[in-house]
Structure 1
Amino acid sequence: MELRLNIEDATPPELARGIAAAEAVFTRAGITALQGAEGLFALEGWDIKGFPEDDKPTEYEDRAATIWLEADEAAATACCAGWPKERVPRHQIMELINVPRTKLQAEAVPDTWAERKQLYPDVVTRLEITTGPDRQIDFDIAFILGWVPERQTLDRVEPLSEDGDRIPFFTSDLAQVEEMARRALKDWTIEIDRDPCDAHVFDPAAGDGDDELRLAAWRDFDGSLHMEKPPANPAIALTLAMMRGQSMHFD
């Protein structure tokens, strides 16, 4: 298990300097990098679910997440010391690699991580080609995100999420999907087109190279197309854009 920095054009000595700065933050705080990453994962999971009151991260997880973010910032500052301001990353640049199996990989049930990871690209493809609402896709998205402990099928009674609510209608209820997106990404801009259907979700402060902060369902920000035809409806478009933003977690 080790830290890795994703900073374009950084030299090995610069990367090593950044990692050393991050490790110093964890050492001063008295936690490991893994504990920090798990805290951040818990915080991001709560964010994705729309900040439910009964599923808040613990005080320990919240502190660990804060320390991880401080370490990430310290790493970027140290690595990019002396760089022009516009080249210093404004997004998270740190990750753990060779991580042992923990809730960082499978929050719902540890043994489901491989299945969820394999299912992710399949669901994105199905969102791209579906001709309308698809409850099985809704179920599969909930499973991928760790909201339910196992993959559900249409031949069962409709499942409930862990907090007792019905699984969201990701492919049919635009208002529901948009509410979740706006709660999860409060400072981001969400644009939805209906003719043709498309969705763009982005951080207004993001630059042209900040692809992970600029998400599109069909037509990307540079004018290229993710697929031949636009999504079947606006709910699918917004869900697809949001799911593209999850790709970093399933690489």
Structure 2
Amino acid sequence: MMQGKIIVAGIGPGKYELMTLECAEALKNCDCIVGYEVYIQLVKSHFPEKEFLSTPMRKEEERCRLALKEAAKGKNVVFICSGDAGVYGLSGLIYEIAASSEEFKNVQINVLPGITAALSGSALLGAPLIHDFAVISLSDLMTPWEKIEKRLEAASQADFCLVLYNPMSHKRKDYLFKACQILLKNLPQNHPCAWAKNIGRAGEECQICTLGELQNAQLDMFTTVFVGNSQTKVIETAQGKKLVTPRGYEFER
């Protein structure tokens, strides 16, 4: 039987206008769209004629197999992830499952990039990632907290700008506080930080703060946290305060 194909696509932060043209074209031309139920709702109104298949949270492997099975039937499938499918997304798991099964060995897999929260959040806040930066998830579902602690310690010692994904959830209410306590070993209380919530979706908001203030912030899984480096500063603009990390360009003041 003729095998179909899977395009694993990052749909960006959620706003249709922030989806790449390549991703939108793939969604327009596919037979079936598979994804986490929350992400399906972000694209469904733009492609109402499509077949949609979804699974709830914590059903990632089941979701990947569902997409592969549809492709194995000969369908052209788009498997959607938020942000970029290769940054805390499921493109890797799709490849792993396909490679481990004879059933899926002939399914063609392609990955399309998307705008990850580090980039969309940075644009909202100003320009905090102009210099070297590290991205760390505070979720310990797949990474031991002890390893996350070491990464936070090393990144703060190396003077990286930091982007923290998954800073807090109902079951992990104190993880952001614990992360800030680690960072405060090497950084001062007034160190410039910020967060961006619901980027590109209803309820979008962002705020610049200090590291001392950040440790007590009540955030959620839909928030991305930014921690500046030793050169990061808050700049007053016509649109309000912006977080900027200098690259080191020389210019006349």
Q: TM tier, shorter chain?
A: under 0.3
| TM-score, with structure 2 as normaliser | 0.24
TM-score, normalising length: structure 1: 0.24
Please identify which structure carries the higher helix content: 1
Structure with more of its chain in strand, by fraction: 2
Indicate the structure whose relative CO is greater, using CA pairs within 8 Å and at least 6 residues apart: 2
